């Protein structure tokens, strides 16, 4: 059985993204694949270019909000999609790497651009065995 790594959840006008992981870092990283999947199939995105991102907040949920918005900024200004994310969090400081490529419309069939992460349904939680990160993003 394949372990679920990310999913979308329904929001009337927009889209919810959810990442799962055995660590909080992994759940942060998987949410980026859910983010990409709003725009295109992540399997079509080759990890050709690496971008580094840093964020800081003592509130893990706001740290997640900043992380998602930082990636959205890179998507928008560099016209890119990302298929791999790696995250390291140390004492409220996040260092992340995202890997992806510039959008090729014929290859990626990009459906919609993401405007920003919202605080709706914003949660970073754990069941003890699994970490879950989520929020609704405005499209």
Partner 1 sequence: MKLNLVEKITPEIWEIRPFGKMNVPARIYASEDLISKMDLKVYEQLCNLTMLPGIVDMAYAMPDAHWGYGFPIGGVAAFDPEKGGIISAGGVGFDISCGVRLLHTKMKVAELAPHKETLANLLYKRIPSGTGSRGKIILSDQDMNDMLMGGARWAVDKGYGSAADLDFIEEHGQMAGANPETISKRAKERQKEEMGTLGSGNHYLEIQDVNEIFHPEAAKVMGLELHDVVISIHCGSRGLGHQIGTDYLRSMMTASKQYGIYLPDRELACAPIQSDLGKSYLGAMRGAINCALANRQIITHLVREVFNEVIPNLKLRLVYDVSHNTCKNEWHMVNGKKVNLFVHRKGATRAYGPGHEDLPENFKSVGQPVFIGGSMGVGSFVLVGTNECESLAFSSACHGAGRAMSRTEAKKFWNGPQIIKELREQGIVIRSGSYRGVAEEAPLAYKDLKSVVDAAENAKLALKVAQLSPHICVKG
Of 54, 139, 44, nearest in space to 101 by CA:
44
Stretch that binds partner 1, among 22-30, 43-51, 58-66, 83-91 (CB under 8 A): 58-66
Between CA 119 and CA 65 the distance in angstroms is 7
From candidates 2, 90, 91, 105, binder to partner 1 by CB under 8 A? 105
Complex with partner 1: residue 43 or 109, whichever CB lies closer: 109
Binding to partner 1, residues 106-125 (CB under 8 A): 109-113, 115-120, 122
Structure tokens at 124: 């970073």
Of 81, 94, 93, nearest in space to 34 by CA:
81
Between CA 121 and CA 95 the distance in angstroms is 24
Does residue 131 touch partner 1 according to CB under 8 A? no
- As measured in angstroms, the least distance from the Cβ of 3 to partner 1 is 21
Burial class (CB in 10 A: 0-12, 13-18, 19+), 138: middle
Complex with partner 1: residue 46 or 138, whichever CB lies closer: 138
Which residues of this protein are in contact with partner 1, per CB under 8 A? Answer: 8, 10-15, 38-40, 62, 65-66, 69, 72-73, 76-77, 79, 103, 105, 109-113, 115-120, 122, 136, 138-139
């Amino acid at each position: 059985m394949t372990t679920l790594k990310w999913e979308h959840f329904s929001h009337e006008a927009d889209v919810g993204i959810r990442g799962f992981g055995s660590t909080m870092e992994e759940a942060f990283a998987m949410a980026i694949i859910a983010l990409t999947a709003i725009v295109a199939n992540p399997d079509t995105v080759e990890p050709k270019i690496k971008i580094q991102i840093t964020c800081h907040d003592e509130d893990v949920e706001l740290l997640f909000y900043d992380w998602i918005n930082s990636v959205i900024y890179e998507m928008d200004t560099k016209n890119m999609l990302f298929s791999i994310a790696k995250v390291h969090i140390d004492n409220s400081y996040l260092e992340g790497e995202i890997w992806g490529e510039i959008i090729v419309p014929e290859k990626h069939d990009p459906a919609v651009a993401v405007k920003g992460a919202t605080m709706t349904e914003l949660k970073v939680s754990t069941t003890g065995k699994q970490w879950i990160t989520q929020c609704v993003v405005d499209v």
